């Protein structure tokens, strides 16, 4: 990950970008877009007045408001940076004020549900290009954002059938400018892939940390004091925003349940191998999973450092 982003563009990609929701992702987009001159004007929108006030203090946007309908007026690019369960109500609130030719996008890690929620509320002439930047930390709020969050990370676009190709390319250019590697796929395929690479791992992390907290024979102080690397890394994942992840599981339930079923079958086989002392099966599994880890590192999506390369850089 670089210490800083590249030089600003001479000409902005968009005239007026409205970001709805200034948590980790929204505030990181604001910082990167401002640094790189991706928008002539950046409008920050959040229903929480304290967040709006903090955005003004941080000076990461040109305008800040809690009125979403007013904030999107005149915008040529609107990005929903809210939990996936809120996308429908936000789209309904802003739909009438969206200008013809405006592009609407999002950052949710579930795509099928977002398309179903948002698309009915968009007027004729407004383009919808859903997106998912596969990046984040366990921190939230406008102070948590940093401009290099998306650098060398993947951003997946899932344009609905018949989407305007020029709009898709403009969204691709926006994420590419922030350093992301961009891929396009269907919403259905995205949700299946993310169920196993992100959603189920988070569910496992929440569960194992919760189990440790509920153990009667091990005190909470011992859990904290003697946390080995594996459990410590689970707690990092389990510290993620609870509202966001509640919505993820409720809105991608089919894919998550499918993957959980497969996981339960594999765990049963693993338990059998342990019970019957089948060391060769355990060794083969651990060898295969080690190769996956090495592949992730070689693709530049992680580092071998003990902190997993998650130090903040390029604030």
Asked if residue 94 belongs to a domain, the reply is: yes
Asked if residue 283 belongs to a domain, the reply is: no
Contact 172/158 with Cβ under 8 angstroms? no
Same domain, 150 and 210: no
Dihedral angle, C-alpha 85, 141, 148, 176, nearest 10 °: 30
Tokens standing for residue 252: 């991608």
Q: If pLDDT is split at 50, 70 and 90, which confidence band does 304 have?
A: low
Percent pLDDT > 90 in the chain is 71
Q: What gap in Å lies between CA 53 and CA 74, rounded to an integer? A: 22
DSSP-derived secondary structure for 232-273: HHHHHHHTS-HHHHHHHHHHSHHHHHHHHHHHHHHHHHHHHH
Q: Which pLDDT belongs to residue 311? A: 47
Q: If pLDDT is split at 50, 70 and 90, which confidence band does 26 have?
A: very high
How far is the first Cα of the chain from the last one, in angstroms, to the nearest whole number? Answer: 12
Same domain, 171 and 43: yes
Q: Phi first, then psi: give them for residue 40, nearest 5 degrees.
A: -70, -35
How many domains would you assign to the chain?
Answer: 2
Q: Which of 15, 14, 19 is nearest to 29 (CA)?
A: 19
Same domain, 100 and 65: yes
Same domain, 167 and 210: no
What is this structure's pTM? 0.83
**What's the pLDDT tens digit per position in 58-82?**
999 999 999 999 999 999 999 999 9
pLDDT higher than threshold 50 for residue 276: yes
Count Cβ neighbours within 10 Å for each residue of 145-177 and write b for 16 or more, e otherwise. bbbbbbbebbbbbbbeeebbeebbebbbebbeb
Same domain, 209 and 170: no
Same domain, 142 and 212: no
Mean pLDDT, rounded, for 1-22: 86
What are the percentages of helix, strand and coil residues in the chain, rounded to 5?
A: 50, 10, 35
CATH code (residue 218): 1.10.3660.10
**What's the pLDDT tens digit per position in 198-250?**
889 889 988 988 888 787 676 777 777 777 667 888 888 888 888 888 999 99
Same domain, 42 and 169: yes
Angle CA 158–197–89, to nearest 5 = 45
Q: What gap in Å lies between CA 280 and CA 278, rounded to an integer? A: 6
CATH code (residue 179): 3.40.50.720
* Segments forming the whole domain that contains residue 258: 189-276
Give the pairing type, strands 77-80 and 14-20: parallel
Same domain, 200 and 98: no
Q: Which helix (H) or strand (E) holds 40?
A: strand 39-45
Asked if residue 248 belongs to a domain, the reply is: yes
Same domain, 172 and 25: yes
Contact 26/44 with Cβ under 8 angstroms? yes
**CA-based R_g, the chain, Å:** 21
Count Cβ neighbours within 10 Å for each residue of 209-219 and write b for 16 or more, e otherwise. beebeeeeeee
Q: Which letter does DSSP use for residue 196 in this model?
A: I
For the beta carbon of residue 113, count every other beta carbon within 10 angstroms: 21
């Amino acid at each position: 990950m670089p210490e800083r982003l590249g030089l600003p563009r001479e000409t902005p990609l968009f005239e007026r970008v409205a970001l709805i929701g200034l948590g980790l992702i929204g505030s990181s987009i604001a910082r990167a877009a401002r640094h790189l001159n991706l928008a002539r004007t950046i409008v920050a929108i959040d229903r929480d007045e304290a967040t709006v006030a903090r955005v003004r203090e941080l000076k990461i946007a040109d305008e800040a408001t809690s009125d979403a309908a007013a904030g999107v007026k005149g915008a040529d690019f609107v990005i929903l940076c809210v939990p996936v369960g809120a996308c429908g109500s936000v789209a309904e609130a802003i739909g009438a004020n969206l200008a013809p030719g405006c592009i609407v996008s999002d950052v949710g890690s579930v795509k099928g549900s977002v398309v179903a929620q948002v698309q009915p509320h968009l007027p004729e002439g407004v383009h919808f290009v859903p997106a998912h930047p596969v990046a984040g930390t366990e921190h939230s709020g406008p102070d948590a954002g940093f401009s290099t969050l998306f650098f060398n990370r993947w951003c997946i676009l899932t344009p609905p059938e018949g989407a305007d190709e020029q709009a898709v390319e403009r969204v691709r250019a926006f994420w590419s400018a922030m350093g992301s590697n961009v891929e396009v796929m269907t919403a259905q395929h995205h949700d299946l892939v993310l169920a196993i690479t992100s959603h189920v791992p988070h569910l496992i992390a929440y569960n194992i940390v919760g189990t440790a907290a509920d153990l009667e024979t091990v005190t909470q102080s011992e859990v904290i004091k003697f946390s080995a690397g594996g459990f410590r890394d689970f707690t990092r994942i389990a510290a993620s925003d609870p509202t966001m992840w509640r919505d993820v599981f409720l809105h991608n339930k089919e894919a998550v349940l499918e993957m959980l079923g497969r996981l339960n079958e594999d765990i049963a086989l693993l338990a059998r191998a342990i019970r019957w002392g089948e060391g060769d099966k355990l060794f083969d599994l651990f060898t295969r999973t080690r190769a996956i880890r090495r592949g992730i590192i070689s693709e530049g999506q992680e580092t071998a450092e003990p902190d997993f390369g998650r130090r903040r850089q390029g604030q």
